[in-house]
Structure 1
């Protein structure tokens, strides 16, 4: 049973990834679900088994339970098409409360504290890797998965460019780096060559084993760094997450544009392209949670309206 289902899982993941999905977390969760089926000696997906596993751990939020079930539903739908004996759990059997986390907008001082906190990690390579990763996310607004997927030949130190090949929906984009960022990445490469085991990996950022970083491990380590940096939640829905470095980059980019008297709409279009968003509307969500940015935009509007009134009088 286990071997057959795991082969079908591999086929399912290959099929979904061919459509442009990354599926790092779903792959891990579905593998754990198959472990659960094997432990209970089940040979097919049932609604009961899916519910039993999805409700773990018991003290987790209901949204996490609903997400786990949604991951199973996708795989179960695929299996059901191959063999109707597999059941597809109803979509509404574990209701999910619609809410979106409020971005935790990091100040420059807080980002510096996170980078400094990497000194608490055990090995020189691990310390350098996470200091570089946090700095890179903060100054480029890259997604975590994009940074993990970077290969060494994606970095052109001469042109000071970074090629993001594995963006959302498979989109590729080139980012121009500030000279200090290029220098920091060059310094990391030199240290990496000296300390990392020779595994032959193409990855730019590596673990202490000399392998590509793993998404879930990065998140776990970031939580440790948040603790060491003394950063706490600002509310129940606003907690420091690594993804919020991306939000912070977008907000600061717009604040810099307003401070320099530049056109906000033009900058928004540029930021949207830089972040790899399909539509500027996606970027607007990143910006709407910043009172400072909303105040700056409001001030620009008041100035514009004031000038219009003065011209008409």
Structure 2
């Protein structure tokens, strides 16, 4: 059997990425890493994946911070692809899972309270020029009341925000999932005000269909809120000694955690309602949503209390 060439491996990798995207996977960082590995193989004129080469690439030019974790994540990309390649040609080796293991890690969320959200929105309103402050404040407010991903809010177009029916249409989000998010009347009022300010600011000059626009009259870039967020945290007086570092994505964690806490307090059947929250948040399945049960000590306590009651441990009242 003729040995595969490096360019054949590249074609196989592109076909694999296309297939997985067809199944709904975005593969942004995964595709970048896999193509890096393919280039590594092409530079060495190697068309067959081996564990030695995979490990060499995983350790090659990796950031010096958290090396073991970074190496493991890089090797995992090759391992996933190698399973596909091996099914086509068994000469491709699948790196063993116990080489450079990469344990799953999740950043601990910062759970905002109501006053902190208000302070952040006020701080955002103080940004200059004035329209930048309007955009940033409304952006933060929408994140806090809907639990949307920041990327989903950035991608919103005018047609996606149906203020007449109080709905936001999230189109082709993570895993190609689309959904509708109902809005509270107070949120509709704020978004309607921003849309009017947006039209006045554009003055008929802007051609973008984006709902949120920046001072250059184009779509509000994902880097913008990240750039200003440390300044807003400082202006709002939000510090986190002994707590996780506050992030924009934590508004989503806060929304999910509060929803679950309210359900427990109200005696709802949380396990039965979890698929509802999963659908609302745009998760693929409820197991991704169950992680939010660890959001706060209070929520963990409520969940543990409910579990204890359902199991009716000996010595407890029936």
Deviation at 1:178, TM superposition (A): 0.1
SS at match of 1:203: coil
Q: Report SS of the residue matched to 1:138.
A: helix
The structure 1 residue matched to 2:25, chosen from 10, 21, 24, is: 21
Tell me the number of residue pairs that the alignment of Structure 1 and Structure 2 aligns: 300
Q: Which residue of 1 aligns with 2:214?
A: 207
Post-superposition offset of 1:280: 1.9
Whether the 8 Å CA contact 2:58–2:72 is kept in 1: the answer is no
Question: Higher Cα Rg: structure 1 or 2?
Answer: 2
Compare 204-213 and 179-188 and name the one that shifted more.
204-213
Q: 1:264 aligns with which of 269, 272, 289?
A: 269
**Aligned-residue offset at 1:70:** 6.5
- TM alignment of 1:161-172, pairs within 5 A: 161-172=167-178
Q: For 1:49 and 1:255, locate their aligned partners in 2 and report how far apart those are by CA, in whole Å.
A: 45
Q: Secondary structure at the match of 1:175?
A: strand
Following superposition, the deviation at residue 239 of structure 1 comes to 2.2
Correspondence 1:219 to 2:226: yes
1:81 matched to which residue of 2? none
Taking the aligned partners of 1:285 and 1:293, their CA distance within structure 2 comes to 11
Aligned to 1:275: 281
Q: Matches of 1:13 and 1:152 in 2, distance apart?
A: 31
Q: Out of 241, 244, 249, which is 2:247 matched to?
A: 241
Alignment of structure 1 residues 1-313 onto 2, 5 Å: 17-23=21-27, 51-53=59-61, 55-56=62-63, 58-59=64-65, 63=69, 96=102, 98-196=104-202, 198-233=205-240, 235=242, 238-259=244-265, 261-265=266-270, 266-300=272-306
TM-score (ref. length: structure 1): 0.71
Query: Pairwise CA RMSD of aligned residues?
Result: 4.6
What residue ranges of structure 1 are gaps of 5+ in the alignment?
1-8, 79-87
**Mean Cα displacement is larger for which, 158-167 or 213-222?**
213-222
Shift of 1:18: 4.3
Q: What TM-score does the superposition give when structure 2 sets the normalisation length? A: 0.70
Helix, strand or coil at the partner of 1:132:
helix
CA contact (8 A) 1:20 1:170 kept: yes
Superposition deviation, residue 170 in structure 1: 0.8
Q: How far does the alpha carbon of each residue in 1:246-276 deviate from its partner, in whole angstroms, 9 at most, with x for none?
A: 11101111222333x3423244332222112
Structure 2 unaligned residues grouped into runs of 5+? 1-12, 47-52, 85-93
Q: In 2, Cα distance between the equivalents of 1:25 and 1:216?
A: 17
Q: Which moved more, 1:288-297 or 1:187-196?
A: 288-297
Greater mean deviation of Cα atoms: 90-99 or 266-275:
90-99
**2:89 counterpart residue number:** none
